[in-house]
Each structure stands twice: as structure tokens, then as C-alpha cells.
Chains A and B, each alone.
Chain A
Amino acid sequence: MAQLVAIDNKNHLQLAIDQTKVEQHGAKLHLVPAVVPEFSNMAVQYPLVITKNGDTGQFVFAAMLGFEAGENLYWRDEQWQGLYVPLQIRRQPFFVAKSTASDNYDVCYDTDSPAVATEHGQRLFNDQGQETEFFAQAKGCLGELLRGEEANSQLLSYLQEMDLLQSMKMEVMFANQQTVNLSGLYTVDQDKLAALSAEQVTQLHQAGLLAAVYTLVISLGQMHQLIDLKNKQLGHS
């Protein structure tokens, strides 16, 4: 469980982040949350799916990186092999949390993160206590995620309102004849998408979300790449 601590320039003046280790946060993720603004970057390599949050049952967008819990097929040789590293990984080890003191949000960091460094790495503050360029960028990344999550909830409510979601059941067989049943995943129902009224399409378009809907559909083609990666890992190519 991540330990989140609010960051300030008194207690964390010396805190530094080793950027080379940030990606380790994704080493064992088979699903990584995705936000609408990064869909087009994601879709170049990863299948985008919809899954449900275990605590709330609410739908969430995710890029699929493996076929079972703990498996990230894009993680090899201690490195992220994908072209695009998802925002959810890049933001590590920073989080925003509702402030206990005020109505604002605090920027926090995960004290258990492997990227937390004391010796070398990028500092958050200079000796005078001013934010570094690095920390400003990290905050920018969090802002991007927050805005992205707003777009996510907007898109999800359109998808549900327009009855465009369907559950995705797939049995995948790998080169070694081993099979895996994918369950708990959802995607856009293409027949219903094709049957949308002109009015509904316009609605999505005006909300700036039409492209995202098609990106979700098209990204599923990357499932083949994922199977391919798995086969390679199994020693079949």
C-alpha cells in the first residue's frame, strides 16, 4: 500500500527522484489506467479496454499490457519497451490528495516508491526552497491527468447513456496451446455505434469525444501485437 505524504519545501528540501526508476511502477501491471487525451498515443501499441474498479464497480479505461495479473509484456530487461509510457506511470511517485488542512489539493509522494532517492536524482526544490523545473513538470503531469479524468467521466457517461458498452469475452490461445479467458473487460459495441443517430454523433463530436470512441475500437487491433509478445516470451515466434 502506497504511503502518501504531502510535499512541502521544509520537510522535503532534499527529496530527489531517480527518473530512471519511475517506470518500475509499471513492471507488474497488466492493466494501466488511461485518460482520453492520451488515447491516440496509447492506441499505437496497446489495446484500450474498459474494466471495472474493484471497489466501486465504476467503469475505467485501461491499456492492456498483459493477459493476467502481474504480467506486463512491455516490461523487459528492467525497462519499459513500449514507445509511449502512460501518464499513470510517468506521474509516479506523485499524487494529488485532498488537503486535510484546506479545501485545496496537496501534491503528495509515495514514500515507498523505488524512485525516491536521496543521493542522486532530480531534486524538487533548490537550496533556496524554490521549485525546480523538474517538479514543475511533474505537477504539469498531474494536472494533465486530472483534466484527463474529467474527460474520462464525460466519455463514460456518454457511452452508458447511448448504451454503447458491451462486455468483451475472449478466449486467447497462445502458440504453446495454452489458453486464457479474458473476462471483466468491456468495449464499444460497434453495431450500436454504427446505429447512432446523427444527433448523437454530433453530440459526441461537439464534446470532442468522437475520435476517442473510434480510437477505443481501433486499438483492439493491438490485441494481436500483445499475443505476439506473449508468444515471443513463451519462446515461440
Chain B
Amino acid sequence: MDKLTKIVVIVGGGNAGWLTAGRLAAKHNSNSEQGLKVILVESANVPAIGVGEGTWPTMRSTLKALNISETDFIRECDASFKQGAKFAKWHDGSEDDYYYHPLVLPQGFGKTDLAGHWLAQQALAKNQSSEQSPLPANSQAHSHSFSNQVCFQEAICEQGLAPKTIRHAEFADVANYAYHLDSAKFTRFLQKHCQENLGVTHIIDDVIGVNSIGDTNSEGARAGDIASVTTKAHGDITGDLFVDCTGFSSLLLGEHYQVPFKKCDDVLFIDTALAVQVPYENDDDAIASHTISTGQKAGWIWDIGLQSRRGVGYVYSSKHSTEAEAKQILAEYVGVKNGAQLDSLKVRKIPINSGYRETAWQNNCVAIGLSAGFLEPLEASALVMIELGAQMISEQLPQSRAVMDIVAKRFNETALYRWQKIVDFLKLHYILSEREEPFWADNRDPSSIPESLQELMTLWQYRAPADYDFTSNNEVFPAASYQYVLYGMGFNSDYSHNPFALDDTDMASSQFEQNKKLTAKALSLLPSNRELLSKIKEFGLSRI
């Protein structure tokens, strides 16, 4: 006899727990008698870490899948719009050193290799200017930058504009966007929605034991599976599938199953974060509609604009900086004089242990969130990994124990693939820097660069990243993202030995032209980010 999946027990609240609960409950009708029973057990005593306040555009589909109104979400989670990231001082650290990784694909992506054409133009301009040497090399840098020439979003961000207008429906846009949000508010918002609208059962109690099934039995239970978790006040809670959302403690997957943790600190050196909340000086200060990530001596500072405050933090490598030094750098960034004054902003120190569990789904237990892994916050991969994992579990929920191992195998392959790809992509941000501090120099050491990334870099010497470099259905970052980082960081792919690759010059010029038109149109149409957020608070976005 086979054991059907009727009850899913999620251990741990936080964004991971509630997003998983919500996805499962919405998809499998937990509101009805026949639906899947979703129980979330959460300790009252464990504070949530609140990873990352930046999301990906995937959050829009996640909210839609949970049947959440975007207006409610924006109003209740202090959320604002995020249109990508601005990387300042990553290349050479000079004052006007920056590039964008926007969320809109390069114009005509898939129709023509606009990156190749842009590179050819750059090469031509360089030759001409070296002959006539009229201008210093970087005086025209930003208007001719890759991200500006192929995408209209950088101009929107630089002007502090929103990605849509008040007339757009919820989730509709002019330019692709994600969100910045208050993590703690988001958790409470999800919890309320999951309980009130989606039929998730919430138990507040401490899990004090994990009970295994001793022998495989005729009811379809497998030896070694989790039968139940024991709680302090509610006794044993039985389930068919257990989701470990217990954060870094990884109670089920790490502690109970002893699944090993693969550290990535040989590739990604960041191991500490100092985070502060910075109030706006004036109520009408601009709200940046992108994450600002500024390179520092031993890491980088994130700067995220919410409606009511900014979230700012310095992530650094403790091998390359003392805490006092890091505090001083953060203090200077937020505009206070020294580390002591910074303390008035209540600095939170958060250890970062970059790595992941190579097996995320063991027996009838799967980990989502920090319990499965965490990489440094660059490119905001934390929430998106939760979303992707929760989506996969809800869509591919094994109907019975007999099929669970097959689904688990796929889940593990996918998760592992994604972790590795994210590690590669994050590392890419560091290896092209020309900054000379030891942190940056160490990052360029070939022994710290994964072979998979080295291979790609070798290929890209002669051409731009393309879709055929990323062939899985489960890619996290598209080829376009690699292009934005590579050419933002001044990398050159040399097309001169491949003269026929760029034959479609008419198509390319029409796409460059189109980008200019879209830029002008967007700039004339869009309100400021703050103005739109205020209007949404006052009037709301309509559903259609």
C-alpha cells in the first residue's frame, strides 16, 4: 500500500516558512476539507533573521500565486520598487565608477547580438580617439555605457523614477521590477494572509524532538522517514512531508539527518554583515528605485530604499578587515562621523556563512531557506531561492511516498545546480575589478575562481554570453545578466576574429535607435518612485 501526501508540516516561520506554506496552501486548496493540510509550527522564542530586503521580479508571480493584492503588499510591508542594482566603485573605485545591472533585458535580446555590436562600436571609438585623442577616456563613459546603450532602465533609475504609473494595474509595468521590502513586516503580512485566507494551520510551540519511523511498514511508511515532531505543549505533530524552515540551525536536515554543509568561503570571502536602518532626512527625500551596491575596502555596502527608511549594511571579509575598521567605513557611508555615533543607529552584526547543503531533500524532509543554504546578499539570491524552492514543492508535490524519492532527486539536482550557478555569478562581480586592496586582489586569485566560471570566461574572450551558455530549464540568471556585469566591469570580448558574427548591422542600429525612443518615452511618462508610492498609499492600484 502506498502512503498518500495529505499533511505537510512546516517547521519554522519566517519568510521561508510562510512563503512555502502559502504556495502549498494556495495550490492545494488547504481551505477545503479535501485540500492538503498545511501545518506551520513556529517557536515563539526564535527571532527571525530577516534575510535580504531585496527581491527579484519573481516576487510578483509569487504574490500573484498567493492571491495577494499588490496594493496591500506595498502598503503593509513598507515596500518600494526595485529596478535592478547600481554597482558603484566596483571596477576601479574612482568617484564616477559605476554600472547597472537592470532588470530589463538588452533591447532586441535574442534577435541580435547587441552586446557584440556595442563592443564593436567601443573598439571603433577607441581607435578613433587614440588617433585624434580629443577626449579623456571616461568623459563620455556613462551615456555610452553598455547598460545605457542597450537598456532604457538605467536612465529611469538615475532619474529616480518608478517603473510604472498609478494608471497601471497591479503587477503591470513599463519596466520590469522587483521590490525592496521590510522583511519583518513581510513575514507578519504573509502569516496573516496564510492563516486568514489560505487555510494554513499555525501552531506556536517549540519543537523538542524528531521521531523517526523504525521500520518500513505495510502502510507505505519508510524506515528513516520522519513520523512526527514532538512539541512542548502540543504533543507529537505527524505529517507526510516535513519542510525544514528553521534557519541556520537546520533542525531537521542538518541536525536530525546530519546532511553535510558545503562551505563556499574559498570562493566568496564575505563573512560578516553590519546592518543599520537609516531614516530619511526629509519626508519627501527621493527613494532610489534600485539597490545601490558600493564597493569598499574589504567588501561592499548595500543601500536599499524603503518607503519609510533606508536599509544600509556593510558586508565584508573579516580576514581583510577588523570590525572597528568596518564600522568606520559604514559610518562614513551613512554620513555620521565615527563608529561610536554609528552605534546610535543600532548596528546589527550578522555572521554570514556562505554555503549550502548538497542534499536539500532527504527522505520525507526538504529544507527551504537558510536551513538549505545562504550566499552573501549580493544580487539578492536569498528570497528568490526560497520562492523557487517553494514553487517547485507546490507544483511537483509528490502525491505519495512511492514517488517522493524521484521528486526529491530532481529537487536536489535543481537546487544544487542553482547554488553553483549563483556562486559563479556572484564571483563574476569580483574577478574583473581593478581595485588593489587585498580583498579585491585575493578575489582575482585563479585558485579562488570555480572552474565552471573560468571556462565561461575563456569562451567569452571571443564573444558575449549567450543563451546557449545557459541551457537548463532551471537557470537563475539569464545570459543578459552576465553581459551587464561583464561589460559594466569593462571586460572586452574580441569579435575581430569573428567578422561575420556582426553582419546584421541594420537590425542592430534599429535596436539601438529603439532603445533611445523607449528611454525618451519612459522618462516623459513615469512619475518619481516616491510620488508613485505615495499615490499607491492614497488611492491604491486597481486590479486591472
Contacts and interface: CB of A to CB of B under 8 A. Distances in A.
Is chain B a partner of chain A in the same complex? yes
Interface of A: 52-59, 160, 163, 165-167, 184, 186
Nearest to B168: A57
Given A56-B538, A57-B165, A57-B168, 12 more contacts: A52-B166, A53-B167, A54-B165, A54-B167, A55-B166, A55-B535, A57-B535, A57-B539, A58-B539, A58-B542, A59-B542, A160-B543
Interface residues of B, number: 13
B544 A165 contact: yes
Contact of A56 (B168, B169, B539): B539
Contacts of B541: 57
B544 A186 contact: yes
Contacts of A167: 169, 544
A56 B166 contact: yes
14 contacts: A52-B166, A52-B542, A54-B165, A55-B535, A56-B166, A56-B535, A56-B539, A57-B165, A57-B166, A57-B541, A58-B539, A59-B542, A160-B542, A184-B167
Interface string B289-316: 0000000000000000000000000000
Contacts, number: 35
B489 to A, nearest CB: 39
B41 to A, nearest CB: 36
Contacts of B535: 55-57
A167 B169 CA distance: 10
B359 to A, nearest CB: 45
B494 to A, nearest CB: 44
B538 to A, nearest CB: 8
Contacts of A166: 544
Interface string B512-544: 000000000000000000000001001111111
Across chains A and B, which 4 residue pairs bring their CB atoms closest together, nearest first?
A57-B166, A52-B167, A56-B539, A57-B167
Nearest to B166: A57
B542 A57 contact: yes
Interface centre among B165, B166, B541 (most CB of A within 10 A): B166
A59 B542 CA distance: 8
Nearest to A165: B544
A167 B543 CA distance: 10
A53 B168 CA distance: 11
Contacts of B544: 165-167, 186
Contacts of A55: 166, 535
Nearest to A52: B167
Interface of B: 165-169, 535, 538-544
B530 to A, nearest CB: 15
Contacts of B542: 52, 57-59, 160, 165
B171 to A, nearest CB: 13
Nearest to B540: A57
Contacts of B540: 57
Nearest to A51: B167
A98 B165 CA distance: 28
A166 B544 CA distance: 7
B418 to A, nearest CB: 36
Nearest to A59: B542
Contacts of A165: 542, 544
A184 B168 CA distance: 9
A166 B169 CA distance: 11
A56 B538 CA distance: 8
A113 B295 CA distance: 58
A186 B166 CA distance: 15
A182 to B, nearest CB: 15
A72 B542 CA distance: 28
Interface centre among A56, A184, A186 (most CB of B within 10 A): A56
A184 B544 CA distance: 10
Interface centre among A58, A59, A184 (most CB of B within 10 A): A58
Contacts of A186: 544
Interface centre among A57, A58, A166, A167 (most CB of B within 10 A): A57
A53 B165 CA distance: 11
Interface centre among B166, B539, B544 (most CB of A within 10 A): B544
A130 B544 CA distance: 50
Nearest to B165: A57
B167 to A, nearest CB: 4
Nearest to B536: A57
A166 B542 CA distance: 11
A43 B542 CA distance: 26
A186 B541 CA distance: 15
Nearest to A184: B167
A184 B169 CA distance: 10
Nearest to B538: A56
Contacts of A56: 166, 535, 538-539
Contacts of A54: 165-167
A167 B544 CA distance: 7
A167 B542 CA distance: 11
A11 to B, nearest CB: 35
A229 to B, nearest CB: 27
A58 B535 CA distance: 11
A52 B165 CA distance: 11
A191 to B, nearest CB: 14
Contacts of A184: 167
Contacts of B539: 56-58
A186 B167 CA distance: 12
A58 B541 CA distance: 8
Nearest to B543: A160
A52 B166 CA distance: 9
Contacts of B538: 56
Nearest to B167: A52
A117 to B, nearest CB: 37
A54 B166 CA distance: 7
Nearest to B541: A57
Nearest to A55: B166
A160 to B, nearest CB: 7
Contacts of B167: 52-54, 57, 184
A163 B67 CA distance: 14
Contacts of B166: 52, 54-57
Nearest to A163: B543
Contacts of A163: 543
B544 to A, nearest CB: 5
A57 B533 CA distance: 12
A54 B167 CA distance: 6
A23 B141 CA distance: 55
A12 to B, nearest CB: 35
A68 B424 CA distance: 51
